[in-house]
Structure 1
Amino acid sequence: MAKVLVIGAGVMGLATAWQALRDGHQVDLLEAAPEPGGMAAHFDFAGDSIERFYHFVCRTDYPTFELLRELNLEDRLRWRPTSMGFYTDGRLHPWGNPVALLQLPHAPLLSKLRYGLLAFVSTRRDSWPELENESAKDWIIRWCGEDAYRRFWKTLLEFKFYEHADNISAAWIWTRIRRIGRSRSSIMQEELGYIDGGSQTLVDALVRDIEKLGGRIHLGSPVQFVTTQGNRVTGAETSSQHFEADYVISTTPTPYVADMIPDLPEDWKQRYRAIQNIGVICVIFKLRRPVTEHFWVNVSIPDLTIPGVVELTNLRKEISNSIVYIPYYMPTTNEKFYWPDEHLLAEGFGCLLRLNPELKASDIVATHVGRLRHGQPVCEPGFAAKIPPVQTPIEGLQIADTCFYYPEDRGIAESVRLGRSMARAIPQPIPVPAPSPRVESIV
């Protein structure tokens, strides 16, 4: 059996380790944080266990379904009819279906029809290679016109990507439209899923199975550097010990790779350094009353610097209070990324008051602010050619993070798919045949 070392215990790392163990390898899993799960990890929010960064399941998340079946968790998947809202012109409107689109006031009919046509075509296309080298802005304007771009897309892109907003890949935006557009029970009804107990249910099951299969998980063990000899990986060094390995698979964010693997060729280091990420801040409120009836609301007004709001309890109905995520995406060079928590909470609650003026400060049960420096890769046109191969020039070393899902967006399904494929790329142990019984001749 091969000695396999997996770096990073997010869902991708856990899936990698789990698959490698099932394939007969010996596995150590190193994680810098004190708990496994990465972006899917939970925390206790005034008595409710919820993700630090919200997650949901779509009808096309087939790798998730397969993994849940293999973990005997298929019965923990729940589906709910959900809806979307759109806050613009000082009002909250229903959104996400043809009737809501046509009934939106003030927008020209032609803009609405062209927007609807783009959503319809995007949902039904399985492949669209022509989009790889086009910007989302140019693509949307070409299909929908300047007016529709300004009304429906401009502020969403600007408050997610800031200075990169005009140079985001059309292929990346298309796959997001397609994934959500295909998660419906009918043309009028969106349908999303979640795992009963949240993503922690999946994380805990993977951890249990990894340990049951003989794998070792080392929490609070950041890797200082990966070791090699003769262009072959030999393991990794932490502050406390050296882990020997025949194969190393890194799932940590690409900005850490160049420093973590000093023996990589310089041109490969530059490829990892060239991948840009933006940060994310999730401001979370627990409230005594709901803000809206929608799971998510797109916000499209210039003086609210957020792309939207996610109301988790309109998906996970078993949670008693209303739990609302306000995601702030921005480059970590932006001064707002370092605002004190109380400033972000004040602005965030002001946004919720715009959506529901009946809210009061006394409705706040609890608050939380979470920050992540590498929350979203910036996928510009031509991004596919920018991503290095998973297998590096160092024998036995594979590297991937969330940007390797491109053109798909970050999500548990893609983490599972890529993690398992990296583990399966390791040569499986060759069974040694049992010796044949010796036959002694009788003379």
Structure 2
Amino acid sequence: MKVAIIGAGVAGLTAAYDLARSGHSVIVYEAAPVAGGLASGFRDERWEWPLERFYHHLFESDTAIRALVQEIGFAGNLFFRRPITAQWWNGRSYALDGVLPVLRFPAIPLIDRLRFGLAAVYLKYVTNDWQALEKMTAAEWTLRWCGPNVYREIWRPLLEGKFGPHADEVNMAWLWARLKARSFRLGYFVGGFQAFCDALLERVQSLGAVVHLGAPVAALTQLDDDVWQVTGSGVLAGAAEDVDAVIVTGSPALLARLAPNLPTDYLSHLRTLRSMGAVVMTIALRQRLLTDGAYWLMPPKREFPFLALVEHTNFIEPARYGGDHLIYCGDYLDPDHEYFRLTPDELLQRFLPALARVNPHFEPSWVRAYWLHREPYAQPIVPINHARNIPPLATPLRGLFWASMSQVYPWDRGTNYAVELGRRVAAECHRYAEMLRLRGGGVALRAR
């Protein structure tokens, strides 16, 4: 079968890898000039390694991506460390990266720390019944079982920071998945995630797949029951390709734009799948900011202008980046938030006072350079009983498949689940190919 894949992110490349290995003819279209999607990187001329546009790491428990890394021969470039993760409280940061640090956290009484620990153990090691947990909000569950002190100091800041005005809508299965699937040891690649994405791209191409970078798709047209036409733009402006099946790996809005002939009720359902965007400013400093060695600091969003302060070079040595100390100031926000309109300089001025707050010695002269990256589709919003909102990978139109971060639920979005999703949609597409073969149809078969 001849398959077109829209998007060369981790999900798209994984699907291309599995389909090409199964003998299918694969064409990948990517709007950006590099592969990787949300995991892609950028590079300053001083740096040995590129850096992710949006802060990235693996968890030691991320089995799907680790298996793929092993398959493509890249396992020797993956390593794990245990950096410090911390929470800001009462004017300073406190490590919360293990049982003992949590038990020492002074923001909550000892009895409540024990309740917090027992609840975390139950969620991580005891229950797998996320279907029951999705019937209530995370706010309701944590307030009831952890108590008001833990809720106020730990869970409420996390929910507000991640989902802002939607914090009270998010179901408990989302929080269960974060605790269930994550480890304290974090993984990274020699050369960054871009090196992994490039290695996966090279492996896909070695299997015969064609990958077009800088080539957004302008339209998808269903010519008959078994044939789709993909019309390119960018470097492929005006070019059209007939294929048997199409996998779209982008947002619900992208799918609706590319295939407006989808049934009206299906398009209406796509519009109900809400998500938040990501705004991340990366700042190169001349000196270390988080002098306690913290890699990840979560400040309360009511007091800070961003959700997370990540000092990447407290995880990976500054020597890889020409001696720069690299920090991320990141946030998840509704796509109409003003942060999506402010200039990089305007946003930097919003953030600088917060840097001085976490390090009183900080001065603006420490800033050597800064970069701003924004994506309108980065974090699905998952309300009560969200499982019934998830569309299947096969759309109502024969031969058209959709695989997006909206469909990794109950798990949280991330590269591990992008790999898992890519493999699922490839398997479903392969089954469709078998059906076409038995019927004697298909573009590739007719060409032979």
| TM-score, normalising length: structure 2 | 0.90
Structure 2 unmatched runs, 5+: 439-448
Which residue is equivalent to 2:445?
Answer: none
Q: What is aligned with 2:363? A: 360
Hey, what's the Cα distance between the residues in 2 that align with 1:115 and 1:347?
34
- For the 8 Å contact 1:279–1:330, the answer to whether it is kept is yes
Instruction: Assess if the C-alpha contact under 8 Å between 2:301 and 2:307 holds in 1.
Output: no
Aligned to 2:351: 348
Q: Does the CA contact (< 8 Å) of 1:233 and 1:397 recur in 2?
A: no
Cα shift readout 1:6-63 (whole Å, capped 9, x = no counterpart) = 0111111111111111110111111122222111111013523101011111111111
Q: Which residue of 2 aligns with 1:210?
A: 204
Letter in 2 for 1:147: N
Q: 1:32: which partner in 2? A: 31
**Matching residue of 1:306:** 306
* d(CA) in 2 for partners of 1:303, 1:294: 19
Output the CA distance in 2 between the equivalents of 1:280 and 1:357: 28
User: If you compute each CA radius of gyration, which structure gives the higher value, 1 or 2?
Assistant: 1
User: Who is 2:192 aligned against?
Assistant: 198
Query: Is 2:402 the partner of 1:399?
Result: yes
* Residues in 2 aligned to 1:45 and 1:407: alpha-carbon distance in whole angstroms: 37
CA offset at residue 238 of structure 1? 2.2
The answer to whether the Cα contact below 8 Å between 1:44 and 1:50 also exists between their aligned partners in 2 is yes
Farther-moved stretch of structure 1 (192-201 vs 107-116): 107-116
Tell me the percent identity. Answer: 33
Partner deviation per Cα, 1:45-90 (whole Å, 9 max, x = no partner): 3523101011111111111111111111111111112111111111
Q: CA offsets per residue over residues 230-271 of structure 1, 9 Å max, x none?
A: 444523222422111111111011122112112211111111
Structure 1: which amino acid aligns with 2:347?
Answer: L
- Greater Cα offset, 49-58 or 283-292: 283-292
**What is the Cα deviation at residue 414 of structure 1?**
0.9
1:143-200 Cα distance to aligned partner (Å, 9 max, x none):
11222211112233223322211101210111112222xx2xxxxxx31111111111
The worse-fitting range, judged by mean Cα deviation, of 388-397 and 348-357 is 348-357
Question: Which of 139, 151, 154 in structure 1 is aligned with 2:153?
Answer: 151
Question: What is the aligned partner in structure 2 of residue 276 from structure 1?
Answer: 274
Q: How does 1:92-241 map to 2 (within 5 A)?
A: 92-125=93-126, 127-128=128-129, 129-180=131-182, 183=183, 190-239=184-233, 240-241=238-239
Cα distance in 1 for partners of 2:266, 2:14 equals 26
Deviation at 1:108, TM superposition (A): 2.2
Counterpart position of 1:258: 256
Secondary structure (helix, strand or coil) at the match of 1:409 reads coil
SS in 2 for 1:329: strand
* Amino acid paired to 1:177: L
SS at match of 1:218: strand
The aligned residue for residue 61 of structure 2 is 60
Q: Secondary structure at the match of 2:168?
A: helix
Judge conservation of contact 1:6–1:13 (CA < 8 Å) in 2: yes
Matching residue of 1:14 = 13
- Residue 393 of structure 2 aligns with which residue? 390
Matched letter for residue 63 of structure 2: Y
Alpha-carbon separation, structure 2, partners of 1:46 and 1:276: 38
Q: 1:71 to 1:23 in 2, by over 3 A?
A: same
CA contact (8 A) 1:42 1:50 kept: yes
Aligned residue in 1 for 2:296: 296
Change (3 A) 1:268 1:370: same
Deviations 1:299-322 (A, max 9, x none): 126221322211212222353432
Cα deviation code 1:102-137 (max 9, x no counterpart): 222242223322222222222213512211121111
Counterpart amino acid of 1:379?
V
Tell me which amino acid in the other structure corresponds to 1:94.
Answer: A
Output the CA distance in 2 between the equivalents of 1:39 and 1:301: 23
As a proportion of its length, which structure holds more helix? 2
Q: Which amino acid aligns with 1:107?
A: I
Q: With the length of structure 1 as denominator, give the TM-score of the two structures.
A: 0.91
Is contact 2:34–2:213 with CA below 8 Å preserved after alignment? yes
Query: What's the CA shift string for 1:349-396, capped at 9, x where partnerless?
Result: 322222121222222222111111111111111111101111112122
| SS of residue matched to 1:227 | strand
Worse-superposed segment, 151-160 or 24-33: 151-160
Question: Hey, what's the Cα distance between the residues in 1 that align with 2:341 and 2:69?
Answer: 38
**Which residue identity does 2:44 align to in structure 1?**
F
* Equivalent residues of 2:226, 2:398 under 8 A apart: yes
Return the alpha-carbon distance in structure 2 between the equivalents of residues 286 and 118 of structure 1. 39
**In structure 1, what is the Cα distance between the partners aligned to 2:92 and 2:181?**
27
- Paired with 2:81 and 2:20, the residues of 1 have a C-alpha distance of 34
Mapped contact 1:85–1:294 kept (Cα < 8 A): yes
Structure 1 gaps, min length 5: 184-189, 432-443
| Residue of structure 2 equivalent to 1:5 | 4
How many residues are paired up?
422
Question: What is the root-mean-square deviation in Å for CA atoms of aligned residues?
Answer: 1.9
- 1:40-59 equivalences under 5 Å are 40-48=39-47, 49-59=50-60
**1:301–1:6 distance in 2 versus 1, CA, 3 Å:** closer
Q: Is the 8 A contact 2:227 2:242 kept in 1?
A: no
The 8 Å contact of residues 87 and 298 in structure 2, kept in 1 or not, is answered as yes
Partner SS for 1:72:
coil
CA distance in 2 between partners of 1:17 and 1:416 (Å): 11
- 1:82 partnered with 2:76: no
Contact kept? 1:88, 1:301, Cα under 8 Å: no
Amino acid corresponding to residue 372 of structure 1 in structure 2: E
SS at match of 1:5: strand
Distance in 1, matches of 2:279 and 2:334, equals 11
Instruction: Give the distance between the partners of 1:145 and 1:314, measured in 2 at CA.
Output: 33
Change in Cα spacing, 1:254 to 1:106, as seen in structure 2 (3 Å) is closer
